[in-house]
Amino acid sequence: MEPVRRRTRSVRVGALTLGGGAPVRIQSMTKTDTNDVAATVRQVRTLARAGCEIVRVAVPGHDAVAAFAAIRAKVSLPLVADIHFDHRLAIACIDAGADKVRLNPGNIGGTERMQEVARRAGERGCAIRVGVNAGSLEKDLQLKHGGATPAALVESAVRAVRDLEAVGFRAIVVSLKASSVLHTIAAYRLAARALRYPLHLGVTEAGWGLAGIVKSSVGMGALLADGIGDTLRVSLTDTPVAEVRVAREILSAVGLRRVGVEIISCPTCGRCGIDLQRTARAVRRSLADITTPLTVAVMGCPVNGPGEAKAADFGLAGGKGRAVIFSRGKIVKTVPESSMIDALVEAVREQSGRHERGRGRV
């Protein structure tokens, strides 16, 4: 079951469409020094292989503009220039081939500068993300609302959007990020009623490890389940590839996009007859490169496993030195426990290969 998506305007970002019913796009940001062109290009290409569709690159000063242009010439993914404080950096990056620029209305310098960027972006076919952030909200809005409240974030976004529209610019994407999950959810729900542009989701500064994953999953998952959101970035104190993997899992969990293998496994109990954690990790690692949407079950009880996971495309259930390999609830074969992972992986890869050949990709 898929959420009923909020309908928005369509916005082109490079070769991709955001909004207007297009799939929710996965975005990340490079964590290299932008001036290190070779390292940044490697990271962009690694992100592309991981399933990232849009990459944002920090442009902190004028020395980074030339590096941005060099990166743009070497990568094919849509590239976003992340701009704060100096609107001239945005214009320079647009001229260097940016597919989108992110502007923070809280620190970019006001209406005239926003509109100057919009005029150049309109000439060059570049989109603009109005990137509101609770940590840098305009002072007048903080005073009016008593802080960076959800309503204050939305007013900042609406004001910036109206400034862009006033010069005929419509290729707009909007984000309203806060480190508070509840503030983020409330702000996006308000924005979804106030604006018809695509929304880029994110819980900013979500943190490290499990806490960051949970905050991002709860915040973005709640919005996506409401049909809100057209692109997302998981902000973790981790590698950008880890951000992309979490984003994929979030989209899969809410039924919006299936890419690669989804592993389901039982929580274990006193009947569990195998080292399920080790087995599940090994299966996930062995199938990490497969892009065909498949569900694979790893179960600890050979009696109940095939029945509990009967919807899985493939699975194993082990115990007492042996395991059954099953597909859609039907046992395919019984194998020794020592070879159960290899047997499951072989079955999954065979199915994946048939799928790819059917699509003409092998």
> What is the tens place of the pLDDT at every residue in 32-51?
999 999 999 999 999 999 89
Instruction: Give the chain's mean pLDDT.
Output: 93
Q: What is the mean pLDDT of residues 144-164?
A: 98
Q: What is the mean pLDDT of residues 113-127?
A: 98
Extents of the domains making up the chain: 11-253, 261-353
141: CB partners within 8 A, 6+ apart: 152, 155, 156
> Tens digits of per-residue pLDDT, 169-215?
999 999 999 989 999 999 999 999 999 999 999 998 878 899 999 99
Specify the pLDDT at position 359.
Answer: 53
Q: What is the mean pLDDT of residues 1-18?
A: 92
| Whether 120 contacts 91, CB under 8 Å | yes
> Tens digits of per-residue pLDDT, 215-250?
999 999 999 999 999 999 999 999 999 999 999 999
Specify the pLDDT at position 257.
Answer: 83
pLDDT band at 361 (very low <50, low <70, confident <90, very high): very low
| Whether 266 contacts 236, CB under 8 Å | no
> Tens digits of per-residue pLDDT, 267-301?
888 888 889 999 999 999 999 888 788 999 999 88
Specify the pLDDT at position 358.
Answer: 56
Architecture of domain 261-353: 2-Layer Sandwich (3.30)
Strand-pairing partners, residue 262, are 295
Enumerate helices (H) and strands (E) in the chain, giving the number of each: 12, 15
| Whether 317 contacts 302, CB under 8 Å | yes
Structure-block tokens of residue 209: 């490890």
238: CB partners within 8 A, 6+ apart: 208, 209, 212
Give the Å distances, CA to CA, from 255 to 152, 221, 250, 272, 310: 32, 10, 9, 29, 19
In percent, how much of the chain has pLDDT > 70?
A: 96
Q: What is the mean pLDDT of residues 131-145?
A: 96
Strands across the sheet with 261-265, in order? 261-265, 294-299, 314-319, 322-327, 330-336
| Whether 306 contacts 315, CB under 8 Å | yes
Specify the pLDDT at position 355.
Answer: 57
**Residue 27: pLDDT over 60:** yes
Phi, psi (5° rounding) for residue 76? -105, -20
Q: How far apart are CA 315 and CA 318, in angstroms?
A: 10
Q: How far apart are CA 248 and CA 256, in angstroms?
A: 10
Specify the pLDDT at position 71.
Answer: 98
pLDDT band at 1 (very low <50, low <70, confident <90, very high): low
Kind plus residue range of the DSSP H or E element containing 26: strand 25-29
**Residue 307: pLDDT over 90:** no
Strand-pairing partners, residue 34, are none
**Residue 362: pLDDT over 50:** no
In percent, how much of the chain has pLDDT > 90?
A: 79
pLDDT band at 310 (very low <50, low <70, confident <90, very high): confident
Specify the fold of 11-253.
Answer: TIM Barrel (3.20.20)
